């Protein structure tokens, strides 16, 4: 009798164990999987949905030039082909998805995770740890501006900031552009990285007293790595008409002021007292 009882108990345990194993295997088999041919951690369906392709470097590309790679946009559930996914007039790179006090693009530049408020799990938010360095993410590191005025005069501005020194080169046929004008534009771009193209154009018109018709091309890049570009041709009677400047953009590369003197400037941080370039004092702290 005892032998029969022991045998039945052993059989029951064996059956139970086998059923549990089969159930576990069934769960594993039913677990959803997604294809990832290029093994970049992003589902192929997502990459194909936004027409990113399946190349080896897709994850590190930034198709919409908002400062966020496709991998980051996938992790944040953003549209990698739109600079403003939620259409709230704030660029995706300037949003703060994890609410840690750092913009998404700043987190990319600083090496933290824009989807995780505490990237290193030390119970201190990334924004508190990287406060000083975050200021450098919105610093304009490079700016190139070309304008053709209503009087067919050319203005060229080339600015870059590196190693805590700023360098400015101006070629101006109007004789009216000052370093303070350029500094004001840079300050505005640093203070409000989410300015729309129309807002940037309006500021340039005001700062440089541009009357219609005029043409301009502007490219600038932030410390976060995010770059922006715009090209505008505005006619006097038709209003704004975005497009490429004509061939006469570079017909005269020699700038003169009203007295005929060369109006070129090439300055570094020692003699450029134009204001707050590159942050409060050029220093960063963690």
77-95 residue pLDDT tens: 999 999 889 998 888 888 8
Q: What is the pLDDT of residues 153-175, one digit of tens each?
A: 999 999 998 766 789 999 999 99
Do 145 and 225 have their domain in common? yes
Which domain range does residue 150 map to? 140-267
Do 191 and 110 have their domain in common? no
Do 145 and 238 have their domain in common? yes
Instruction: State which H helix or E strand residue 161 sits in.
Output: strand 154-162
66 assigned to some structural domain: yes
Q: What is the average per-residue pLDDT within 24-39?
A: 64
User: Count of domains in the chain?
Assistant: 3
**Separation of alpha carbons 35 and 284, rounded Å:** 43
Do 208 and 250 have their domain in common? yes
pLDDT bucket at 208, cuts 50 / 70 / 90:
very high
Do 53 and 100 have their domain in common? no
DSSP letter assigned to residue 93: G
9 assigned to some structural domain: no
Contact 144, 204 (CB under 8 A): no
Which residues make Cβ contacts (< 8 Å) with residue 220, sequence separation at least 6?
140, 142, 143, 144, 189, 227, 228
User: 83-114: b or e for each residue (b if 16 or more CB lie within 10 Å)?
Assistant: bbbeeeebbbbbbbbbebbbbbbbbbbbebbb
Do 233 and 169 have their domain in common? yes
Do 236 and 153 have their domain in common? yes
pLDDT of res. 277: 40
Peptide bond before 270: cis, by omega within 30 degrees of 0?
A: no
284 assigned to some structural domain: no
pLDDT of res. 127: 81
Q: What is the average per-residue pLDDT within 258-282?
A: 38
Please report how the helices 179-191 and 197-207 are oriented relative to each other, as an axis angle in degrees rounded to 10.
Answer: 160
Do 168 and 115 have their domain in common? no
Q: What is the pLDDT of residues 55-65, one digit of tens each?
A: 989 999 988 87
- Which tokens sit at 69? 């790679």
Which residues make Cβ contacts (< 8 Å) with residue 118, sequence separation at least 6?
100, 124, 125, 126
Do 178 and 101 have their domain in common? no
Do 188 and 211 have their domain in common? yes
Q: Nearest 5°: phi and psi at 219?
A: -130, 135
pLDDT of res. 1: 55
26 assigned to some structural domain: no
Do 164 and 258 have their domain in common? yes
């Amino acid at each position: 009798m005892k032998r029969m009882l022991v045998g039945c108990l052993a059989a029951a345990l064996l059956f139970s164990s086998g059923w549990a194993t089969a159930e576990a295997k069934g769960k594993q088999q039913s677990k959803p999987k997604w294809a990832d041919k290029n093994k970049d951690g992003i589902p192929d369906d997502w990459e194909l949905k936004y027409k990113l392709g399946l190349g080896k470097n897709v994850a590190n590309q930034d198709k919409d030039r908002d400062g966020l790679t496709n991998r980051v946009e996938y992790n944040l559930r953003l549209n990698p082909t739109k600079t403003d996914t939620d259409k709230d007039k704030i660029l995706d790179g300037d949003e703060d998805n994890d609410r840690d006090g750092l913009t998404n693009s700043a987190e990319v530049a600083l090496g933290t995770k824009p989807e995780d408020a505490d990237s290193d799990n030390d119970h201190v938010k990334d924004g508190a740890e990287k406060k000083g360095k975050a200021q450098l993410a919105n610093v304009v590191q490079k700016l190139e501006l070309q304008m053709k005025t209503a009087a067919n005069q050319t203005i060229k501005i080339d600015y870059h900031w590196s190693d805590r020194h700023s360098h400015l080169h101006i070629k101006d046929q109007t004789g009216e552009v000052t370093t303070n004008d350029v500094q004001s534009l840079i300050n505005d771009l640093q203070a409000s990285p989410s300015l729309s193209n129309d807002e940037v154009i309006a500021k340039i018109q005001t700062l440089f007293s541009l009357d219609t018709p005029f043409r301009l091309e502007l490219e600038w890049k932030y410390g976060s790595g995010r770059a922006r570009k715009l090209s505008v041709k505005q006619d006097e009677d038709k209003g704004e008409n975005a497009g490429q400047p004509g061939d006469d953009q570079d017909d005269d590369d020699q700038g003169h002021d009203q007295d005929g003197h060369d109006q070129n400037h090439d300055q570094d941080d020692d003699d450029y007292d134009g204001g707050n370039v590159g942050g409060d004092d050029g220093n960063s702290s963690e």
